[in-house]
Each structure stands twice: as C-alpha cells, then as structure tokens.
Structure 1
Amino acid sequence: MRKLLPLLLLAPALAAAQDATAADVQTNLDFVWVVVAGALVFLMQAGFALLETGLTRAKNAANIIMKNVMDASAGVVVFFLVGFGLMFGTSAGGWVGTDGFALLGVEGQTPEWTYVFFFFQAVFAATAATIVSGAVAERVNFKAYLVFSVVIVAVIYPVFGSWAWGGLFNGGGWLEGLGFLDFAGSTVVHSVGAWAALAGTLVVGPRVGKFIDGKPVDIPGHSIPLAALGVFILWFGWFGFNAGSTTAGGPGIAIIAANTFLAAGAGALGAMALTWFRDGIPSVTMTLNGVLAGLVGITAGCDAVLPIGALAIGLLAGIIVVFATLWLEKYIDDPVGAVAVHGVCGAWGTLAVALFAADGFSLSQLGIQAIGVGAAFLWTFPVSYALFKALDLTMGLRISGEGESAGLDVHEHGTVAYPEFQLMTATDVPSGDSAYGIEEAPQIEAAPAI
C-alpha cells in the first residue's frame, strides 16, 4: 500500500497532464486543418482561371489569367489592410468592424489564431472578387477592373460579411442577430460576387456580336477541356471551402464533406437531364455549371441538412441554373454564367437552409433567410453599379472596338496566350464571323521528299 500511495497521489496530476496534452493536440489539429482547408480554397483560384479561360476565346486567355492573379495578389493586401478589420473587427452597432486593420488591435484572440483565421478569410475574399472576372470577360479595361477588384475585397464584400459573419471572430452583425444562417457563404461569398458581376455586365455592355437583332448569339469558348479541368479543381477545393468553415478538425467535417459531394453530383445530373430533355442532347457546359450550381447551393446549409436534403438542394440547383442562364442571356452577356451559378443558385441555397434543415422546415427561418438574400442584393448591386459607372466615366470601363477585335491579350498586355496560333485581325476574319475571334491554324510546311 505504501508503494501505491505515491502513485495515487500523482493520479490527479497525471490525469490533468493527459487532459492538457489532448487539448494541445486538438488545438494543433485545428490550426493544421484550417491552413490545409485554406490552401484548398486558394487552389480554387486556379479553377476559376481555367474555367473562365476555357469558356472564352483564345485571344483573351492571358488577360483572364492576369485578372485572376490580381484578384488574389492585390486582394490579400487590401484585405489585410482594410477588409479584415471591416469584416471582423469590433462591430459598431452590428454594421461594420472598427478595429483590426492590418491585424492590429484585435482583442480576445491569440496572435496565432488571428493569423490563421485571416489567411482562411482572405482566400474567401479573393473568391468573391474573381466571380466578377468571368462575367465581364473579353471587353473590360484591365486597369478599371483592377480598381473594382480592390474595392470589392476591401469594402463591398467585408461590409456584408460583417453583417452575417462578424461574430465568428469578434463583435457580431445585425443579420447574425436575426438568426441568419449561411455556414460557408452561398450568399456572403457567392451571391455578393454575382450581384457585383451583374452590375458590371450591365454597365460594360455585351461583347460585339453577342446580340443580333436583339437575340443572343452563342459565342463559344475555345477549350472545353480547360473549362472541365477548372470545374474539377473547383470541386476539389470546395471540400476545403465548406468543411474548412468549421475552423476545427473534428467529426463535424464528415457530413459537410459528404453533403458537398452529393450536391455537386446531383447538380450535374439535374442540368444534364434537363438539357437532354429540352434540346435532345446533353449540354457539356450546362452540366459543368450544374456541378458548380450544386456546390454553390449546398454551401449555406452543408452543416445543417441531411444527405437526402443535400441531394435535393443540388438537383434543384442544377435545374435552376439552366433556366436562370437561359433567361439572363436575353438581357446580359455573361460568358461563364456567373450570375446564374453564383447569384441565383446562391440565393436558392440560402433559402434552402430553411426548407431542408435536418430539424424540419421553419417558416420563420425562411423569412430570415430571405432578409439576408435581399440585404446582399440591396447592398452589393447598387454600390457596385455606382462604382462601375464611376470607373466608366473616369477611366473608361470598356476597351475600344479595335482592342476587343484583336483580343485583350495583345491590347492590354502585349502578349498572346498561344503564340503558335496566328491570330486573325478584324480584316482577316470572313464577313459575319468577326465576333468570334476565329484563330487561323498555323501553316505547316510539307516534309521534303526523300
């Protein structure tokens, strides 16, 4: 007994040490998970770049790459200096943060958690910005676009984000106070980016040749394989986007990952089936956008619905995106369907949280969700439209007709994405085809006779 007594006395201390070790392991796991998830979300920038490049013409490919690079590069700097503080600083009446600019003066968090949380939120902000890129592709002045990209990351996105997510870090927003639910950003990220994109398309106008006698004309992109690769990369990164929003490495990520996968697959099936039934052939581009529609749709409620609900949300999103794209095409020129995918399906996914929640339908929650959807539009669209108008009046939002015909790669950057191709000038293109930017196949000399 005397030999056991010291061990018995030490038992509480040993138990406390084990608890401390377990807590340390969990803390470290949380940090690692958030960094890995953030890296997956950052990879989505590559997905957006490839998707937009593939769905537009070869003569504008380098320009699209530049816009996506700047969305991330300039975006992280201005989000660090301004956006993070507006979004997650101590809230002023639930409307906007008032401290935390350049990560200074943020209270209540360890410095290490501040850094990792900033990193994760910065890649989200870049995602919101790059949604605009595809919608205004092939005709927007690069300098003007860069200014808008900086403003959406520094101000437009963070202000709405503070309303819905401010309490994730400090303070709390007025939408949060109402009980608005948007777990990973169907509205906060995707609809905000899309309503800004809608404003841009209206101000900059359609590409030359998009509308003939008031009817939309298809302007095909130059590479379906690039677009498809972009979608697969986005799909892969979305597991970090949704499951990473737990900001904790725990069991909760399991159902989120499953729901994300199911909704994406159902979205593709819905879009494919509808186009097959409607047109007699399954549309490749609509099916690809169906994947994205399902992903956007499940993002708000990926933590709150059962897998069967995720299937329903994704399937309906895939159907909705087809009808939304066809309707919007009558009025705007959106080369990649960004407004339909991210705006309409983002709104749908946000409302669907109340419709398919695991604990049952809630009419009051549906009303709160609708308030959030409406607030996102009423904030983002007017501010973005005014900014695009101001850029149009001061810098010129749209490039010249000659620049559009030659391609933004040459006009804006003095380069071409595919130097092996000899890009035809406007005078080289046969009558009626000038809007399509047709590439002339390189001439190959015949091999000498042996």
Structure 2
Amino acid sequence: MTVDKRALRRAYTASLSGTALEYYDFAAYSVAAATIFGDLFFPSGDDLAGTMAAFSTYAVGYLARPLGGFVFGRLGDVIGRKKVLVYTLLLAGIATFLIGLLPTYASIGGTAAILLVILRFAQGVAVGGEWGGAVLLSSEYGDPKRRGFWASAAQIGPPAGTLLANGVLALLGLLLSDAAFNSWGWRVAFALSAALVGFGLWIRLRLEETPVFKQIAQHQERPTAPLSEIRQKEMRAVFAGLLVRVCPDVLYSLFTVFVLTYIVKELDMTKTQGSLAVMIGSAVQLALMPAFGALSDRMNRRRLYLYGTIAAAIWPFVFFPMISGGSFLALAAGMVVALVIHAALYGPQAALITEQFSPRLRYTGSSLAYTLAGVIGGAPAPLILTALLSWTGSWVVLAAYLVLTAALTVVGLWLARDPVDDVVTAEPTSEEVLTVPPPRN
C-alpha cells in the first residue's frame, strides 16, 4: 500500500511519546511504591508490611487495566484510534498529577491510602486503554512487512518512561536530603506530569485517523459488539496474546521494581544506586526495542521470542550471585543484560500480539490480551516475589518463579500463529477487512 511517510513519522512519534508519558506516570508510582510510599501512606512499624501494602496499590494499577482495555478497546474499534488515545492520555496525566497533591497518612489517616488506591486505579484504566491504540497508531500507518519495527514505537514507551521517572526521582534524591525528599520532593516528579501531558496532547491532536480504520469505516465494517465477536471467533488469539506477555511482565517487574527493594533490604545498597542501575538498563533498551522489532521482521517472530524467553528463564540464576557482593558495577551490568533480554521480547511483542487479530477487532482483542496478562503476570509479581523472599530468604525461589512464567509464555507461543502479509491494503474489500490471515503451513 502507499505510505505517507510524513504521516507515518508523526504517528510513530505520537505513539512513542504518548506511551512514554503514560509509563512515566506508571513508573513514578512504581519507584515510589518500592521506596517511600510504605512509610508515607501505610505506616505500621513493620517495614515488610508497609512495602507489601505499597505493592498492593502497585498491583491495583494492573488489575484496573482490563477495565481500560475493555472500555477503550471497544471505543477504539468503534469510534477510532486517535480519539481514544487523547482520552487515555488525559486520564493518566490527571490521576498522576493528583497523586502529587495527596496528603499523607500523617495528615488525614487511612483516607490518604484510599485516595491513593483510587488514583492508582485510574492510572491503570488509562494504561489499559493506551497500549492497543498506541500500537495500532504507528503500525497501521506503516508497511505490514515492517510491522515489527513500526509497532515497536509503543514498546519504546515503557523504558523511556521508566528512564525519565527514575531519572527525575534519582535527581531529586541526590539534590535533597532524605527528610526533604520524603516531605515534598517526591511530589515534584508527579506534578511534572501536567507539563508532559500537555506536550503529548499537542502531538496527538494534530494526527489524522489511521488509514486502516478509515477503510474499515468507509466499508461500514466497524463492529457494534467487538467483545462478543472476540469471544465467538478469536479466543485462541486472546489466550496466545495473554500468555506470551506473562514472562516479560514478571521479568520487568523483577528487575525494575522488586530489585529496588531487594538491594536495599538484602544488600544494604541505596535506592539511588538501584534507580541509577535501572536508568542505565532502560537507556540501553531505547535503542534495542526498535532493533529487535526490526529483527523480528526478518526472521520468524515466534522463534525470536522463544529465544528471549529461554534467556529470561536462565538469567536470574546468574544475576543474583553476581550482585551478592553489593557492587554497583555488578548491579548495573546485570540490569543491562536483564533489560536487553526484556527488549528481545518486548520489541517484537506488539506486532506478535496485534497480528493475531483481524483488523476490525484489533484494538479490543490486543487490549484484552495485554491487560489480562498484567493481572496474572505483572500485577502480583512484586507481592509474590516479596512474600517468597520473606518466607524462604533465598533468591533461588525468585528465579524459579520466573522459570514458571517462562513456561506459560512458551505455551502462548505454541498457541500463536505466524501470519502471512497483512491482508489490509490501500483499498481493502469488505471480506479482507473482516478476515484474519490464515496461518503458514
């Protein structure tokens, strides 16, 4: 099909920047939950209990994602990708800004924790609706033969957002005393969300709707009940998309969230060292996400994903002995390798999931697969990892848990299909819009 390169570049930028801004919001909370929110919102006199409570609100953000995937995914297939992505960006930005204004437990007691959970829930709803649309925004403008590369724009968002959030919080931690940071410094990172969202909206409001959705609308093939159609026709695709996400989700939670708690409590390292290590690994990922996405266009996408899954299952058995001496260099090097492995999975992931679904149901289907995976993968991971470490005192069970999730992802790869070239062309027929590409022999 004919590609408008200027529109494609604009869509790629909008997908990347908007997702990065939403994951900045999500990551700022994740870092704060691992380091200070236990004391500020859930004081109990027990450090473990406070951390577990803070991680519970972290999980709420994941548990809210299916609602966002259902509501915004359906809207994305009915009214269009662009409009929905404006709504999700606004919701995430407003929720994050309000977290920065929240009084703590010391001021209003348990009400502070309730308000924090509500705002975290709103963040999760927004992110749940964001991902599917951001992927389609860039991939539906580009050549289907390069879907892996173009769809990776949305995948760059999480490490970019994580890098930015950790950078802001680490800088505040360096510039301020612990007392000042715990009192008001952490709020600055959340307040910055307002300016970032304004930038994201400026980019997204200038976009046109994707060519694929325009053609679907032109042929009057927009679904009226996309969730029902998914349930009737494409449930295998949902299970495949869900399971292939589980291992990468847990891998990411282990190395960007839980490890911050682990190094502070088990190795007597500082939260600033942990944040800097995450920043270094995330910076490496920025270049590798599109590279692995492009590589998946040249080789079998499922095979590349399988290699990454095997590496993910092996690496914790190397990482934890490697950092046992408390060396920052070892921590940073181990984090880089972990996030390179994550990039090998995450870069091709958007294309792998979205191409499981027919074009007219892609937003709903891919959003459901993405968000439901978070419920069994990313949401409980910090809680489970914290509990396992507390019960056993050994990192071996943490590694074993990741191996279990890798096995689930292998099942997802078995269920997934290798599609032929995208059937949607510049002038698709009604039948083409409705059809899922058949699997290769």
Q: If the length of structure 1 is used for normalisation, what is the TM-score? A: 0.29
Which of the two has higher C-alpha Rg? 1
Query: Which structure dedicates a bigger proportion of its chain to helix?
Result: 2
Higher normalized contact order (CA 8 Å, seq sep 6+, divided by chain length): 2
Q: If the length of structure 2 is used for normalisation, what is the TM-score? A: 0.30
